[in-house]
Amino acid sequence: MKEIEALRDAFRQAHAGMSFSPDARAESRVREFSAELAADISELGDKAGNYAQKYAEHLRNWTARMSRCMSPMITGPANFPAEANRRRMESAQRAWDEFQAWRERYIKRANRVPTKTPEEEIDDAVIKLEKERNAHTLMVEVNKIFRKKISDEEKKNELFMDLELSKEMVEKLMTPDCMGRFGFASYALTNSNARIKSLEEKVLVMKKRIERRDAFEPIQFNSGSVSIEDDRVVIRHNERPPREVIDALKGHGFHWSPRGGFWCRKHTAAAIYAAKLVCGIK
């Protein structure tokens, strides 16, 4: 790729003091990073943005630091600046680590699934709840049929005709499990009830979150404000807070949004409480 090809000489300089064949190493680097950049851009798709430019900038920074590093095998051991070279090697390693960390963050952000709104979450929970209730009702009806004092053929017909189960499902239900039981085991019904209860509780929690968000009024405090935006509890400061406040924010699960210029955390009752606590709001 052209962004990497433009760094060929930088790669050669980076290996001049570390390799007996810097030209060959530069050629290898061009192929290696060109392939990686092409793969990254392909994965990012329309979210690539200025990724190629930033990628090349990180490589340029790394090669600049590497060009100051040496090996006594190449330069000779006489008067070799071991301590200075150690610091330069550490500096180059930091540049490399920063490059890798940036690349990982960029791709992770691009592939991040957008956070659902409370309304979307509650709609999903309601759909899942309805499915679980229907499944539970079906399991109960199936077990009622197996408790009847009728022949296996009659049971099979009721499963197929009355409950409209598939032939595959009917055959599976008519086959006893390892304990010789037919139908659905009691633990399956217990687990189903637990899932239904969990979804019912989630629906109630989401309703309360929506009501709390709609009724919430931004709170002003001495050096900023607390608000709810995009289902996040947002803390804005008029100026950079002291280190102890920043540590408290991190300790309570808030993270810094460089784009928004604020501290935030997913909206919950606990998040609002934590924001008031950190900001000294009574």
DSSP for 19-80, written as a single string = -S-HHHHHHHHHHHHHHHHHHHHHHHGGG-TTHHHHHHHHHHHHHHHHTT---HHHH-STT-
Q: Please give the mean pLDDT across all residues of the chain.
A: 92
Question: In the prediction, which pLDDT does 99 show?
Answer: 96
Give the model's confidence band at 220: pLDDT under 50 very low, under 70 low, under 90 confident, else very high: very high
**Continuous H helices in 81-157:** 82-110, 118-147, 152-157
Q: What's the number of CA atoms in the CB half-sphere (13 Å) around residue 117?
A: 8
pLDDT tens per residue, range 89-106: 999 999 999 999 999 999
Domain residue spans in the chain? Answer: 2-110, 118-212, 217-279
pLDDT band at 120 (very low <50, low <70, confident <90, very high): confident
Q: What pLDDT digit, counting tens, does each position of 152-186 carry?
A: 999 999 999 999 999 999 999 999 888 888 999 99
Q: Whole-angstrom Cα distance, residue 145 to residue 31?
A: 68
The SS3 assignment for 216 reads coil
Model's pTM, two decimal places?
Answer: 0.54
Evaluate whether 187 touches 143 at the Cβ level (below 8 Å). Answer: no
CA separation for the pair 136, 191 (Å, rounded): 10
Q: What is the pLDDT of residue 7?
A: 95
pLDDT of residue 191: 96
Whether pLDDT at 209 is above 90? no
77, pLDDT greater than 80: no
pLDDT, position 239: 93
